[in-house]
């Protein structure tokens, strides 16, 4: 089963994708995570990607689609893919259709996490993750149970994303509205869009997604 998790920055796509990986043995394909790896390299591409990400703009469609194509080539046909942060433009959506067809796969659901944009800025600017296992936390909403220690793996190292500041977040929201939201009508015509209230508790959102996948 292949699905897209869709929603603005901070909607909780990454959090829910991690849970789907744990509960359903699916594979998370996050172009944001892939690009964060790419930017670490001291190469021309790494520096270009870092500049674009820090401004909140979009990396080129061909670069991200090639990354997705390469990941799917390595995946067994029975492992479900969770597309997280991809596709983000109408061109990427068309590219994904071609890539899926090439690998003999198809989309089952596009799950849209519906959220209130004003709340997102607070969510995003307060978030941080475990540097070791990637577990997500928040200054106000979800501190580790023991201060400074990851609940999941015990690590004491945490990190914040450089693009999680208010100015960049607001730009990423407008990019979502202008570039990404327009891909929804195409999927709606195919009857595969499912909407989930992304403002509820993390567990409630997970239950709603589980019900769609069941």
Ligand X SMILES: Nc1ncnc2c1ncn2[C@@H]1O[C@H](COP(=O)(O)OP(=O)(O)O)[C@@H](O)[C@H]1O
In the complex, least distance from residue 126 CB atom to ligand X, rounded to whole angstroms: 13
Nearer to ligand X, 16 or 92 (CB): 92
Residue 200 marked in a binding site:
yes
Residue 126, judged by CB atoms within 10 A of its CB (0-12, 13-18, 19+), counts as middle
Q: Which residues are known to be catalytic?
A: 13, 88, 127, 161, 172
Residue 182 marked in a binding site:
no
In the complex, least distance from residue 169 CB atom to ligand X, rounded to whole angstroms: 8
Nearer to ligand X, 33 or 151 (CB): 33
Nearer to ligand X, 95 or 214 (CB): 95
Residue 192, judged by CB atoms within 10 A of its CB (0-12, 13-18, 19+), counts as middle
Residue 46 marked in a binding site:
no
Residue 15 marked in a binding site:
yes
The contact set with ligand X (CB under 6 A) reads: 9-10, 31-32, 35, 52-53, 56-59, 64, 85-86, 88, 92, 163, 172
* Backbone phi, psi, residue 117, to 5°: -60, -35
Which sign, positive or negative, has the C-alpha torsion 161, 167, 171, 176?
positive
In the complex, least distance from residue 182 CB atom to ligand X, rounded to whole angstroms: 14
For residues 13 and 111, what is the distance between their CA atoms, to the nearest angstrom? 10
In the complex, least distance from residue 146 CB atom to ligand X, rounded to whole angstroms: 27
Nearer to ligand X, 58 or 147 (CB): 58
Q: Residue with CB nearest ligand X?
A: 32
The distance of Cα 177 from the centroid of its chain, to the nearest Å, equals 16
Structure tokens at 138: 């928040």
214-110-58 Cα angle (round to 5): 140
Please give the annotated binding residues for AMP, written as ranges: 31, 36, 57-59, 85-88, 92, 161, 172
């Amino acid at each position: 089963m292949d699905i897209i998790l869709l929603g603005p920055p901070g909607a909780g796509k990454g959090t829910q994708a991690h849970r789907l990986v744990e509960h359903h043995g699916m594979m998370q394909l996050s172009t944001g995570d892939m690009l964060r790896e790419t930017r670490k390299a001291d190469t021309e591409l790494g520096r270009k990607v870092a500049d674009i990400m820090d401004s909140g703009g979009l990396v080129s469609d061909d670069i991200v689609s090639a990354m997705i194509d390469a990941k799917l080539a390595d995946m067994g046909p029975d492992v479900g893919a969770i597309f997280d942060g991809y596709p983000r433009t109408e061109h990427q959506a068309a590219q994904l259709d071609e890539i899926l067809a090439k690998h003999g796969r198809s989309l089952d659901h596009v799950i849209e996490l519906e959220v209130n944009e004003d709340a997102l800025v607070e969510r995003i600017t307060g978030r941080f993750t475990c540097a070791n296992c990637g577990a997500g936390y928040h200054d106000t909403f979800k501190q580790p149970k023991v201060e400074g220690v990851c609940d999941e793996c015990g690590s004491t190292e945490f990190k914040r994303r450089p693009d999680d500041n208010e100015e960049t977040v607001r730009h990423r929201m407008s990019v979502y509205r202008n570039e990404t939201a327009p891909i929804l009508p195409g999927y709606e015509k195919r009857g595969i869009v499912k909407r989930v209230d992304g403002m509820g508790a993390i567990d409630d959102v997970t239950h709603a997604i589980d019900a769609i996948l069941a």
